[in-house]
C-alpha cells in the first residue's frame, strides 16, 4: 500500500554554501531571506560532485547550519557520496526549514522564518545582512501534488505558511478545496494567489499563544464535509495537531495515504528547563537500564487507555470497562503513568496531560501497539542474554513464525517496501538502468516495490519473481494492481533452483537473516542464473552507526541469530560464493552492489 497519494522523488543529499542576497518582512509574522550562490547550480565538495539544487515539492525541507550559540564555532557535516556524515562532537547546530521558492536561472533560494518564537534560526534571520554566509543541506526528497484527490482540506499555523503559500501558488488551477491559515490577527495576512476553487480562510487567534490556540482545531472539526475523495494536509505545533489527526483518521475514517499531519514544532511543557549546568555529563545507567517504562507504555497504547479517556471514561472502573482490563491491576498502571506526567488524577477522575496526548498519536506511538506484529517482534530483545551466549535465536525461526502468522508475513513485506521507497526512483533511471524489454529476475523482501516505475515506463519489461508460495500475495501487493498481472511467479526460496535470464538478477534484502553458508549458496545460484547480479542490502555502516542502527542490529540478532551485515561482512559472504563485490552509492548513499565471478 502506498504511503501517500503524493508521488515521491528522492535526491542526493548535498551540502552547499550560500550567501544572503537580501532580507525583508513579508508580514509582521514572517521574515523572508533570499539566498544566492553558484553552488545552487552544482559544485564539488570534499571530492564529490554535487548535482544542481532541486526543489519540486511545496513542503521540501532543508537543513540550515548555524554557529554554536555559546562557542560561536560553526560545525558542519562532511560531504560523502550522495549523503552527509554528521560529526558527533561537536554536533552541528542545525534547524529544519521549508523551501519557500527557488529560481534556478537566478540561483535564488527563498526561505521564510516564522516569528512565533525566538531561537538560533529566527535570531539569525532578524540580524543577517547581505553577504552573510549560510550552509544548507538538502532537500533529500520531495512529495508532489496529490494524485487522485477530488478536493483538498489543508491548513496550519504560522510555521506552515511558507509551505501552504507555495502550494497554493503552484497547485493546478482546477484544484478544489479549503485552506485554513491561522495567524494572530488581520495584520499578519498577505496576498497569496490561489485557484478559484480553493477557499482561503484566515483564522485569527488573537493574543492566545499558538500552542494553546484551538482556532484551527475548531475550524477543522466544524468544516462541512464535501463529496468525493479528499487529501488532507496540516502542519504546525505538535500538540495542536493531535486532535486534528485523530478526527481525520478515526472519525472521518480516512486511510493513512490521504492524511498528512506534520508537527513542525513542539511547545515546551513548562517554562523551566530544570537543568543543572554544573551537573556532570555522565551516563545515567539507572535511567538507561529501566525496564518498566517500555513495557508500561506498550501496555497503555495496546489497551487504548488514552482513547478511552478521550471518549469520556474518567474513573478507573470506567476505563477498565472500556478497554477490558482488571480494575485493580489497571489502577497501578494509571498511577505509574501519572508519575511519568502522562496522566493526572483529581477526585477520582483521570485526565490526559499535554505530553500524554502522544499515547494515541499514530505518528508518535509507532512501534508501541502490540497489536502490530512487528511491534510484538521487538519483545524478542528480552532473550538477548541467551542469544549472546549461544549465537542462536531462542524463539522459533522468523521464517517459521511467518509461515504460522500471515499478519506478520504481510507486515514484514510492507515494512521492507516502505524502506525501499526512498531508493525506488533510482531503479530504471540513469542510476540503475534497464535495457528496453529486459528480463529481470527479482527476489527479496518488498523487492517488487522498486519496479513500479520501470514497469510503467516500459510496457515490454519482463519480471520474474522468485518467492515462496506463502509469501507471493504480500510480495505482489506492494505493486499497483494493474501491474501485478505482468509478474511471472516462480516458487522457490533462493536456496533451490533459480529461473534463467539473459538480463539482470536483482536481490533486495534477500540475504537478511540467512547464515553465511546459506547466504553464499543463494548468491552463487543467483549469479549463475543471469548476466548481471545486483544486490541491495540494509547494511550496517559501522563508521556512521547511531543508537537506532545499533538497536536494530541487536534486535535482528535476537530474531534471526544473524543481525545486520556490514559491507565487509557481505564481501566475506560473496567470497564464500566465489564472487567479487563492487559498490556504488545510489539514493541517499545506499550501496548498490554488483557481484561478478572471481
Q: Which three cell numbers stand for residue 77?
A: 557535516
Strand-by-strand arrangement of the 151-156 sheet: 198-204, 177-183, 151-156, 230-237, 259-265
CA distance 296 to 184: 40
The pLDDT assigned to 281 comes to 40
> Where, residue-wise, is CATH 1.10.10.10 in the chain?
291-371
| For range 60-68, the mean pLDDT | 96
Is pLDDT at 275 greater than 50 in this prediction?
A: no
Q: What is the mean pLDDT of residues 537-562?
A: 86
Q: How far is CA 415 from the centre of its chain?
A: 12
Q: What is the pLDDT of residue 290?
A: 86
* Res 285: pLDDT: 67
* Three-state secondary-structure class, residue 280: coil
Instruction: Please name the CATH architecture into which domain 8-143 falls.
Output: Beta Barrel (2.40)
Q: How many angstroms separate the Cα of 279 from the Cα of each of 67, 274, 275, 283?
A: 24, 12, 8, 11
Of 147, 162, 41, 150, nearest in space to 110 by CA: 162
User: In sequence order, what DSSP letters do the residues of 413-475 get, joined into one string?
Assistant: HHHHHHHHTTTGGGBTSSSB---TT-EEEEESTTGGGGGHHHHHH-TT-EEEEEE-GGGHHHH
Average pLDDT over residues 534-560: 87
Mark 367-378 as b/e (b = at least 16 C-beta within 10 Å). Answer: ebbbebbebbbb
Q: What is the pLDDT of residues 406-457, one digit of tens each?
A: 999 999 999 999 999 989 999 999 999 999 999 999 999 999 999 999 999 9
- More confidently predicted of 38 and 279: 38
Place of cell 550560500: 18
Other CB atoms within a 10 A radius of the CB of residue 90 amount to 11
Cell triple for residue 289? 537500564
Cell of 96: 529544519
> What's the CATH code, domain 291-371?
1.10.10.10
Average pLDDT over every residue of 492-519: 95
Q: Crossing angle of helices 238-246/215-222, nearest 10°?
A: 10
* Contact of 75 with 93, CB cutoff 8 Å: yes
Q: For all residues of the chain together, what is the average pLDDT?
A: 92
Residue range 151-265, CATH number: 3.40.50.80
Instruction: Express each pLDDT in 217-226 by its tens digit.
Output: 999 999 999 9
Asked whether 51 and 12 are in contact (CB, 8 A), the reply is: yes
Q: In the structure grid, which three cell numbers stand for residue 187, read together?
A: 495584520
Contact in structure between 86 and 11 (CB atoms under 8 Å)? no
Give the mean model confidence (pLDDT) for residues 260-274.
Answer: 68
Higher-scoring residue by pLDDT: 547, 469 = 469
281 CB-near residues (< 8 Å, 6+ apart):
none
User: Is 3.40.50.150 the CATH number for 398-597?
Assistant: yes
pTM: predicted TM-score of the whole model, two decimal places:
0.82
Chain region(s) in the chain for CATH 3.40.50.150: 398-597
Dist. CA 357–CA 298, nearest whole Å: 14
Across 109-126, average pLDDT: 89
Which pLDDT score is estimated for 558? 92
pLDDT at 33 exceeding the cut of 80: yes
Mean pLDDT for the stretch of residues 166-170: 98
Residue 66 backbone dihedrals phi, psi, to 5 degrees: -125, 155
Residue in the structure block whose three cell numbers are 496522566: 343
pLDDT at 274 over 80: no
At residue 2, the pLDDT reads 60
pLDDT band at 117 (very low <50, low <70, confident <90, very high): low
Beta bridge partners of 23: 33
Is residue 90 within 8 Å of 68, Cβ to Cβ? yes
Nearest CA to 140 out of 63, 205, 229 is that of: 63
Q: Are 526 and 505 in contact (CB under 8 A)?
A: yes
Domain with CATH 3.40.50.80 in the chain: 151-265
Amino acid at each position: 500500500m502506498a504511503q501517500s497519494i503524493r508521488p515521491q522523488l528522492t535526491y542526493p543529499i548535498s551540502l552547499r554554501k550560500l550567501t544572503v542576497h537580501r532580507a525583508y518582512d513579508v508580514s509582521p509574522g514572517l521574515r523572508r531571506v533570499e539566498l544566492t550562490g553558484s553552488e545552487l547550480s552544482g559544485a564539488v565538495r570534499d571530492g564529490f560532485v554535487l548535482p544542481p539544487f532541486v526543489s519540486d515539492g511545496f513542503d521540501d525541507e532543508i537543513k540550515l547550519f548555524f554557529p554554536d550559540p555559546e562557542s560561536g564555532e560553526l560545525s558542519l557535516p562532511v560531504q560523502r557520496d550522495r549523503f552527509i556524515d554528521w560529526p558527533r562532537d561537536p554536533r552541528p547546530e542545525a534547524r529544519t526549514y521549508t523551501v519557500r521558492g527557488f529560481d534556478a536561472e537566478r540561483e535564488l533560494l527563498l526561505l521564510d522564518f516564522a516569528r512565533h518564537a525566538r531561537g538560533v534560526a529566527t535570531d539569525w534571520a532578524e540580524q543577517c545582512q547581505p553577504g552573510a554566509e549560510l550552509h544548507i543541506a538538502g532537500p533529500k526528497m520531495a512529495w508532489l501534488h496529490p494524485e487522485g484527490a477530488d478536493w483538498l482540506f489543508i491548513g496550519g499555523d504560522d510555521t506552515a505558511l511558507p509551505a501552504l503559500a507555495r502550494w497554493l501558488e503552484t497547485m493546478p488551477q482546477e484544484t478544489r478545496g479549503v485552506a485554513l491559515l491561522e495567524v494572530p490577527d488581520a495584520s499578519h495576512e498577505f496576498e497569496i494567489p490561489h485557484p478559484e476553487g480553493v477557499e482561503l480562510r484566515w483564522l485569527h487567534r488573537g493574543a492566545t499563544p499558538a500552542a494553546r490556540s484551538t482556532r484551527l482545531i475548531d475550524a477543522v472539526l466544524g468544516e462541512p464535509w464535501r463529496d468525493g475523495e479528499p487529501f488532507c494536509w496540516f502542519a504546525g505545533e505538535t500538540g495542536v495537531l493531535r486532535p486534528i489527526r485523530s478526527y481525520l483518521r478515526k472519525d472521518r475514517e480516512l486511510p493513512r495515504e490521504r492524511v498528512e499531519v506534520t508537527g513542525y514544532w513542539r511547545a515546551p511543557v513548562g517554562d523551566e528547563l530544570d537543568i543543572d549546568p554544573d551537573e556532570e555529563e555522565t551516563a545515567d545507567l539507572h535511567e538507561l537500564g529501566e525496564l518498566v517504562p517500555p513495557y508500561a507504555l506498550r501496555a497503555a497504547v495496546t489497551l487504548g487507555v488514552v482513547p478511552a479517556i478521550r471518549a469520556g471514561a474518567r474513573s478507573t472502573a470506567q476505563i477498565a470497562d472500556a478497554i477490558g482490563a482488571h480494575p485493580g491491576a489497571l489502577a497501578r498502571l494509571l498511577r505509574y503513568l501519572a508519575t511519568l506526567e502522562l496522566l493526572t488524577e483529581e477526585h477520582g477522575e483521570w485526565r490526559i496531560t499535554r505530553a500524554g496526548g502522544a499515547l494515541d498519536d499514530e505518528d508518535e506511538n509507532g512501534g508501541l501497539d502490540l497489536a502490530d506484529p512487528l511491534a510484538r517482534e521487538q519483545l524478542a530483545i528480552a532473550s538477548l542474554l541467551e542469544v549472546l551466549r549461544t549465537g542462536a535465536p531462542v524463539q522459533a525461526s522468523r521464517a517459521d513464525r511467518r509461515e504460522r502468522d500471515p499478519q506478520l508475513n504481510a507486515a514484514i513485506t510492507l515494512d521492507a517496501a516502505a524502506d525501499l521507497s526512498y531508493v525506488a526512483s533510482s531503479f530504471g533511471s540513469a542510476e540503475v538502468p534497464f535495457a528496453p524489454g529486459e528480463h529481470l529476475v527479482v527476489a527479496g523482501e518488498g523487492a517488487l516495490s522498486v519496479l513500479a516505475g520501470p514497469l510503467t515506463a516500459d510496457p515490454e519489461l519482463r519480471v520474474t519473481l522468485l518467492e515462496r508460495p506463502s509469501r507471493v500475495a504480500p510480495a505482489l501487493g506492494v505493486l499497483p494492481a494493474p501491474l501485478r498481472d505482468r509478474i511471472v511467479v516462480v516458487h522457490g526460496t533462493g536456496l533451490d533452483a533459480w529461473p534463467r535470464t539473459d538480463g539482470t538478477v536483482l536481490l533486495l534484502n534477500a540475504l537478511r537473516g540467512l547464515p553465511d553458508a546459506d547466504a553464499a549458496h543463494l548468491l552463487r545460484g543467483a549469479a549463475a542464473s543471469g548476466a548481471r547480479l545486483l544486490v541491495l542490502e540494509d547494511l550496517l555502516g559501522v563508521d556512521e552507526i547511531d543508537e537506532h542502527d545499533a538497536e536494530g542490529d541487536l534486535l535482528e540478532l535476537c530474531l534471526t541469530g544473524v543481525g545486520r551485515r556490514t559491507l565487509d561482512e557481505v564481501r566475506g559472504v560473496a567470497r564464500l560464493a566465489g564472487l567479487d563485490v563492487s559498490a556504488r552509492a545510489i539514493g541517499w548513499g545506499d550501496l548498490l552492489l554488483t557481484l561478478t565471478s572471481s
